[in-house]
Amino acid sequence: MRIIDARVIVSCPGRNFVTLKIETESGVYGVGDATLNGREMAVVSYLTEHVVPQLIGRDASRISDLWEYLYKGAYWRRGPVTMTAIAAVDTALWDIKGKVAGLPVYQLLGGRARDGVTVYGHANAAGFDGLLSEISGYADLGYRAVRIQTGIPGLSSTYGVSKDRMFYEPADAALPTENVWSTARYLNHIPTVFQQVRAEFGPDLKLLHDVHHRLTPIEAARLGKSLEPYDLTWMEDPVPAELQEGFRLIRQHTTTPIAVGEVFNTIWDCQQLITEQLIDYIRATVVHAGGITHLRRIFDLAALYHVRSGSHGATDLSPVCMAAALHVDVSIPNFGLQEYMRHTPETDEVFPHAYHFEDGYLFPGEEPGLGVDIDEEKAARYPYRPASLPVNRLEDGTVHSW
């Protein structure tokens, strides 16, 4: 089954998405997400200039071979642009394989290991009252797990607190806006928030928090310790993870579980974190970590070391990525949690999909392949708009992790 065409579709139904569509001689086609937030056009160029010409004429059924061909063949290994491009090809080929087999992709991955995929939503608000009503809103929708982000007194803006409630969107300007950060103010404030939230919602609701790489290991250790009484499901991205051994220090001081991985591209980014059992959840994704093929390799390694999956699922990962993630989530033994930020109605219209939310779970649906498509006519109504993620500075002007 030869590949006869592959094209890259860029659309902005509220935010930018890059989609690869691969067509075969039999008429069966597949889709893959290739969105890299704020750097979309780099992946578009990598795909159109370098990958698409190499795909034409190849056998679409040889997923592993094509993965190795693109990874080893490029010579220049890893990196977000390369691995997002490879992910898009890999995802589209799994979609094709499922359609050809007449089976949802999760059946090809071993079948269901659970009934539904537990997801968490994002409650975020500048102040405490707003936060409580956001959390209640998610609980009313049936969510069993909620990530909590809030404003910090004395800071004019904070990561995770958006203008639009349900549809959190940080890439909000053509050129980066700037945020101001104070670790001291943050560390003093956050435990008081979790104390009140736990008191209000009781022990059953799973609570999560995203630190967004802003602390040093010893600061993260202090935060983890101070949050222990409030029983967090995880503390996410406590420090930048380039220095994997840095997590040892956090681990030595706190039993608050640790999640990391949304910016990881390959198994090498988390090899030490996993094998030394320095984390509890690995949050790599289909779209940024080399597709279904490579993400499964990461999750299989993690399973040996008591590490569970917790895939990134922010709004900048398209419904194509979400569909692919759900087929993986439902079939692996060591699934933990799946992030699920809802897409806007415009996005859902451009990407019709079979997955659905019910009672706190997502279900991948039973359509052959991934069960997601792109409506190219509708996609064409929303042209690309440059959008960047913000930059973060300390109060003295020093650039800090965002």
Binding to Mg ion, residues 255-284 (CB under 5 A)? 262
Binding string, residues 221-260; x marks residues near ligand GCO by CB under 6 A: ----------------------------------------
Q: Is 37 in the site for ligand GCO (CB under 6 A)?
A: yes
One-letter amino acid for residue 312 of the chain: H
Segment holding 210, helix H or strand E: strand 206-210
Q: Which is nearer to ligand GCO, 101 or 391 (CB)?
A: 391
Give catalytic residues, as residue numbers: 159, 212
- Binding partner of residue 219 among Mg ion, ligand GCO, none, CB cut-off 5 to 8 Å per kind: none
Q: Which is nearer to ligand GCO, 151 or 170 (CB)?
A: 170
Instruction: Give the separation between CA 402 and CA 392, rounded to whole angstroms.
Output: 5
Q: Is 149 in the site for ligand GCO (CB under 6 A)?
A: no
Structure tokens, 385: 């708009």
Q: Is 339 in the site for ligand GCO (CB under 6 A)?
A: yes
Q: Is 210 in the site for ligand GCO (CB under 6 A)?
A: yes
- Determine contact, residues 57/3, Cβ cutoff 8 Å: yes
- CA-CA-CA-CA torsion sign (316, 320, 326, 331): negative
Q: How many CB atoms lie within 10 A of CB 272?
A: 16
Q: Is 316 in the site for Mg ion (CB under 5 A)?
A: no
Stretch that binds ligand GCO, among 66-74, 137-145, 310-318, 345-353 (CB under 6 A): 310-318
Q: Which is nearer to ligand GCO, 3 or 207 (CB)?
A: 207
Kindly give the residue spans of alpha helices, DSSP state H, lying in 40-182: 40-45, 52-55, 63-73, 80-101, 105-108, 128-141
CB of 368 to ligand GCO, least distance (A): 30
Instruction: Give the separation between CA 25 and CA 273, rounded to whole angstroms.
Output: 43
- CA-CA-CA-CA torsion sign (122, 125, 127, 130): negative
- Determine contact, residues 368/103, Cβ cutoff 8 Å: yes
CB of 177 to ligand GCO, least distance (A): 14
Of 47, 30, 38, 48, nearest to 84 (Cα)? 47
CB of 302 to ligand GCO, least distance (A): 18
Single out the residue of 170, 310, 336, 371 in contact with ligand GCO (rule: CB under 6 A): 170
Instruction: Give the separation between CA 60 and CA 39, rounded to whole angstroms.
Output: 28
Helices 319-331 and 80-101 cross at an angle (nearest 10°) of: 70
Q: Which is nearer to Mg ion, 304 or 391 (CB)?
A: 391
Q: Which is nearer to ligand GCO, 55 or 260 (CB)?
A: 260
Binding to Mg ion, residues 200-259 (CB under 5 A)? 210
Q: What residue ranges bind ligand GCO (CB under 6 A)?
A: 37, 170, 210, 212, 262, 312, 314, 316, 339, 389
Q: What residue ranges bind Mg ion (CB under 5 A)?
A: 210, 262
